[in-house]
Amino acid sequence: MKLLRYGPPGQEKPALVAADGSLRDLSQHVPDINPQTLDAKALDELRALDPASLPRVEEGVRIGTPIANIGKLLCVGLNYADHAKESNLPVPGEPVLFMKATSAICGPNDQVIIPRGSEKTDWEVELGIVIGRKTQYVEREQALEHVAGYCIVNDVSERAYQLERGGTWDKGKGCDTFAPIGPWLVTPDEIADLRNLDMHLSVNGETRQNGNTRTMIFSIDEIVSYISQFMTLNPGDVICTGTPPGVGAGMKPPQFLKAGDRMRLSISGLGEQCQEVVAWQR
């Protein structure tokens, strides 16, 4: 099942993607796609609906983030062996964790704003995990039972703020619009092999990232179990699981985003994002 939310920011309505690719409104059945919608029983009730019986959503509407009220946006850094290599950093012995501000969250096709004074705004296509139920100290063997679905996240990053301004990475990760999420929340039954998903990102039509989840260092079940040892994961929390090689900072010479650029991202079975890059304005 592919779930999404559509409409103007702050006024999104729930929907699903029918087999023919059309969007079907779910407003008569759930108020929103939110933490309360993500438990197994609620998802089963939506899965039992006949999409043909649901109102069709008009084409061309704005697509919002697929989950409302995301409580935490967690990230795993350097989780692809080939990305660690391009970054000239050692493969980590444990997952590297940081957080992005929830104020960075935006729709999958919304504009990405270059922060005031930024010269090193970069791109990162990532597989996102959406937590479906309260998760504390879960063992790896049970970890995937706590996952409601998966989505695409663009972990937009300002490298100077991240690496040259002291402290942790968070300053370069949490700027406004630095977390486009979506277009869909895809339930696990639609994904045959989490360790074989192609990931692609282009800038102005030129391929920058062309990777696959098979080069992940820490797997999805490892990540969920590991993070749950340090904090409670709640329904609706999103975990970004790292990026394959091809980021702008790793190019020779490095290349970064500028106003007018257009990013396009995709992951097998999870849809596509497209963002125009704009300059910050007061």
- Render pLDDT for 223-275 as a digit per residue (tens, 0 to 9): 999 999 999 999 999 999 999 999 999 999 999 999 999 999 999 999 999 99
Quote the pLDDT of residue 169: 85
Share of the chain above pLDDT 90, in %: 92
- Within-domain flag for 144: yes
Domain membership of residue 62 (yes or no) is: no
Is residue 140's pLDDT more than 80? yes
Q: Is the confidence at residue 89, as pLDDT, over 80?
A: no
Q: Which two tokens stand for residue 155?
A: 């972990």
59 is a domain residue? no
Write out the residue range of the structural domain in which residue 132 sits: 68-279
Q: What is the dihedral of CA 275, 128, 9, 28, to 10 degrees?
A: 130
For the chain, give the mean pLDDT. 96
Domain count, the chain: 1
Q: Tens digit of pLDDT for each residue in 94-130?
A: 999 999 999 999 999 999 999 999 999 999 999 999 9
Residue 202: its pLDDT value, please?
98
Q: Evaluate whether residue 138 is within a structural domain.
A: yes
Give the CATH number for residue 274.
3.90.850.10
Confidence of residue 90 (pLDDT cuts 50, 70, 90): confident
Q: Are strands 105-106 and 179-180 parallel, antiparallel or unpaired?
A: parallel
Residue 220 lies in a domain: yes
pLDDT at 88 > cutoff 80: no
CA distances from 148 to 41, 111, 132, 154, 233 (A): 11, 27, 4, 20, 12
What pLDDT, on the 0 to 100 scale, is given for residue 92?
86
* 166 pLDDT more than 90: no
